[in-house]
Each structure stands twice: as structure tokens, then as C-alpha cells.
Amino acid sequence: MNAVIELLQNHRSIRKFKPDPLTPQQTEAIVTSAQMASTSSNVQAYTIIAVTDPAKKAELARLAGGQAYVEQCGLFLVFCADQYRLKLATEHNGEAFHQNTESFIVATVDAALAAQNAAVAAESLGFGICYIGGIRNNPGEVSSLLGLPELVYPVFGLCVGVPDQEPGIRPRMPREAVLHPDAYSEEAVREGIRAYDEITYAYYKERTGGRTLTTWSRGIADKHKQPVRAHIRPFLEARGFRLN
Amino acid sequence: MNAVIELLQNHRSIRKFKPDPLTPQQTEAIVTSAQMASTSSNVQAYTIIAVTDPAKKAELARLAGGQAYVEQCGLFLVFCADQYRLKLATEHNGEAFHQNTESFIVATVDAALAAQNAAVAAESLGFGICYIGGIRNNPGEVSSLLGLPELVYPVFGLCVGVPDQEPGIRPRMPREAVLHPDAYSEEAVREGIRAYDEITYAYYKERTGGRTLTTWSRGIADKHKQPVRAHIRPFLEARGFRLN
């Protein structure tokens, strides 16, 4: 154990912020850290939109499904998978640009690796963070608001700001269900779900003073018993992505 | 600037390792850090296969395109996007499981966020790391070797081990081409490509004693002038993913 691992293992999402903005130096430290994350063959296939304009933050909070902390936080970063920059670079060299599901995965992963470095850097400076997948509720409107060109899509937002709450750490799935030595074990997964349901039942019960009596797997079932965000595939196609 | 940000900004991939294995405590610290990364609505839609079996590591090195460091490193982690665990949890509650492009993105991003925490934790312990996207060269064979069920795919591997080289830090794209205040700027991207081509030309020239005279955008063009890993979409479909 060291101070870095302690920081990583003490992460919890913050959903209430003081309005203090970040200094330019703090934003720079966070973004430079993001940029130093690994990237597939150095393609760096992501773009970060740093939203500080109050009107845009308010609109993004609404588009994300009414998440007030998007508006409240000092800095809202939108991490985008960006194949447009690669297309410009390819055409700059007189070649036709090709893309498919593989390049979509590369760009999405590149955005996520950079974002997690940003999150860790922000937390090391004492800020709280919260990922906002809710911007995929209305990806077309978000893209228009941020002026995103074709072949760029907003993967998620990241709230960064001074925490105005002190939530506890949420227990994760038992390690045995997530980490498999040398081969996948379905038995370990089934046992992990069972054990984690007990853990989460007790956690929700305690946290809500007995009002919420449910389990992790029940929540997963409720989420996946119907399609979620079925508009994503048509949205991506409309933005020029070819998922073949 | 603090010690965490310094660690993040000093990252470089390591491609030559001493054979020392990790202790169980070190692997545990790395994996527990990975598990504490943010996860979309707590779905935790990823699985880590920790490969230490020498024969499997040798086979993975071959399947990744002959990358010897996959075999040499002390620990090889394969990060998988895992919707199968979600399917088991959903069916355990008597519901039918739905998936689409959105849930594919969620699982891929969850795997990447966890992996980047693992990478940072490993580097904080003095290990070197290298992401291995090359396992997507032969994803079917990798899946068989690791016993992955349907709805699980290997996104990338992560070499972790004691560094046996001291490479320099690779310069990243100018910040202005990656970080946009409030809206995407195509002009900033075009200018960034131009500036980064100059930086990378000088970097490759210096690093190879004048033998390699090329630019970043030329490399991007060479990579994208034809489809890369066109087998990924059919592979995913064969493994049960529905990208609709």
C-alpha cells in the first residue's frame, strides 16, 4: 500500500459541489495527466471539451437527465471519441480514411483511459469527480451544443469540483467474481453474484434506514429487462460512424 | 503538481521486463485499485483474467502478433468487457436480458477505466506497464484460450512487470488540439496536427539517429488508408453481441 493506491481505493463519486472554479493551472495539470495516459499506437483518438460557460453547463445538466451537479461543479469535461482528427490527418497525407468497429473501440477506449487519468489527477488535488453517462441520453443535442463534427461522439462527461458532501465508499463485487486466474470461471461469477447480493442488500438497507430493500442483481435485471438508449446506434450512424 | 500527478505525467510504456513475478499482495493491490474505478450505474461490466501460466502467456504473446514482452512480464492481465455476468444477474431475477450498442459501450468503457487504475497502481509500485491491443488480432483464439463465455470479449491486455529498459517519454499532441474550451475547434485541430508533425518528425529523427524521417499524421494515414482488424465486428456477433 502507498499513497497512490490509497487514493485510488478511496474513490467515491461526488454529486454535490461548491461552485468554486478551477484555476487554469489546475485544469492544465488534470488535462496534461489525461494526455499522458496510454493510447493505442499513439492515435490519441479523443478530444476533451472543457465546459465552463454557465449557460452551456445548465443545458448539459438538463440534457443529461436533470443532473444538477453538472451545472454546479467547477469544471465539466466532456470526453469525446474522436476519429475526425484521424480523418483530417489521413486526408492531409492524400489517403482515404477507413474506419469500422475496431477503430470505434480504439477511440472509445482512448477516451476512457485519458478520462480516468484526469479523474485520478483531480482527486489527487482534493477535488471530487463524477462520471456522467447521462449525456448519452441526448447525444445529438450535446453534439450540437459543443459543435462536434462528424466522427466525434460524446462518450461521457466528468464533473470536477470542490466536494460539498462526504459520501461513503460503495462496496464492489467480490474480487473472485471479477479476477479469474488463467481462465474464466462461471462458477466464481455465479457465487460472486450471490455474495454481492447479500452485501448490497445490507448496504442499501443500512444507507436508507431500511427503506430500500433490494440487491445488486435485482437492479441489474431492472436496468436490462428492456433496451437502454436504443437511439445510440442510429445516432452514431448519423454522425458518420460505420460500425461494420 | 504533486506526487500523483508527477507519476501520471511520467508514464511511458515498457516493452522489456525482468521475469520477476508479482507477489499475491501486489496483484491484489493492483486489482482492488482497478475495482474502485468508476463504473456506469455500478454495473461493473468487466472481467480481468490474470494470466501467469507460462504456456498461456507464450500463446498470448504469439496471438498478439509476436510481442515477446507479453511472455516476459511478471503478470499479464486481460481486461474483458463482460455482459455475461449482467445476463446471469438479469436471468437470476427472472427477466430477459437486453443488450445493444449502448451496453457494448458501457462494458468497454468500464473495462478501460478499471484498467487505467490498474496501470496507475502498478506504476506506483515501481512496475512498468504496456497495453496490448494486439490481442484483438486473434480475438477468437484468445477467447478460447481463456475460456471466455458468450457476451465477453477481450478488449486489451496489460503487461505488468519489473522494467528492464528506461525509455524516454513520448511527446503528446499539443494541448490546444485536444482540449477545447466550450466548443470543438476544427482550426485548433488542423493547427495541432501541423505542429505535432513537426514535433514528431524531430522526435523520430533524434530517437533513430536520423534513420526514421516521418510524421505523426503520415503514420496515422498509413494505419487508416485500409481497414484495420475488419474481423472484429463478425467476431463480436459470433460471441453474441448485438450492436444494434
Mean pLDDT of B20-41: 97
Q: Where are the alpha helices (DSSP H) in chain B?
A: 3-9, 24-35, 54-63, 68-72, 84-92, 101-124, 139-145, 175-178, 186-207, 216-224, 232-238
- pLDDT > 90? residue B44: yes
* Cβ contacts of A184 on chain B, cutoff 8 Å: 47, 49, 80, 146-149, 152
CB within 8 Å: B116 and A121: no
Mean pLDDT of B134-156: 98
Mean pLDDT of A115-129: 98
* Cβ contacts of B117 on chain A, cutoff 8 Å: 8, 116, 120
Q: Rounded to a whole number, what is the distance in Å from the CA of A176 to chain B's nearest CA? A: 10
B146 touches chain A (CB under 8 A): yes
What does the pLDDT read at residue B210? 96
Mean pLDDT over the full length of chain B: 97
Residue with cell 479523474: A119
ipTM of the prediction greater than 0.90, yes or no:
yes
Q: Rounded to a whole number, what is the distance in Å from the CA of A213 to chain B's nearest CA? A: 15
- What pLDDT, in 10s, does the model give residues A59-79? 999 999 999 999 999 999 999
Beta-carbon neighbour count of residue A106 at 10 Å? Answer: 25
What does the pLDDT read at residue B1? 81
- pLDDT > 90? residue B150: yes
CB within 8 Å: B227 and A100: yes
- pLDDT > 90? residue B60: yes
A212 touches chain B (CB under 8 A): no
Smallest Cβ–Cβ distance between B93 and the set A156, A221, A233 belongs to A221
What does the pLDDT read at residue A1? 81
CB within 8 Å: A38 and B13: yes
Percent of chain B with pLDDT over 70: 100
A177 touches chain B (CB under 8 A): yes
Residue B80, beta-bridge partner list: B47, B154
Mean pLDDT of A17-40: 97
Note whether A200 and B62 are within 8 A (CB). no
- What pLDDT, in 10s, does the model give residues B178-231? 999 999 999 999 999 999 999 999 999 999 999 999 999 999 999 999 999 999
Mean pLDDT of A75-97: 98
Smallest Cβ–Cβ distance between A189 and the set B35, B88, B170 belongs to B88
Q: Where are the alpha helices (DSSP H) in chain A?
A: 3-9, 24-35, 54-63, 68-72, 84-92, 101-124, 139-145, 175-178, 186-207, 216-224, 232-238
User: Closest-CA residue in chain A for B106?
Assistant: A133
B23 touches chain A (CB under 8 A): no
Task: List, in order of start, the domains of chain A with CATH numbers.
Answer: 3-168+227-238 (3.40.109.10), 175-213 (no CATH)
Spatial CA neighbour of B156 closest among B4, B39, B19, B46: B46
Mean pLDDT of A214-238: 98
CB within 8 Å: A11 and B47: no
Percent of chain A with pLDDT over 90: 100
Please give the helix or strand (H or E) that residue B181 lies within, else none: strand B179-181
Mean pLDDT over the full length of chain A: 97
Q: CA A44, CA A150: separation in Å to the nearest integer?
A: 17
CB within 8 Å: B38 and A98: no
* Cβ contacts of A91 on chain B, cutoff 8 Å: 221
What does the pLDDT read at residue B228? 96
Residue pairs spanning A and B at CB distance below 8 A: 357
End-to-end, the C-alpha distance of chain A in Å comes to 44
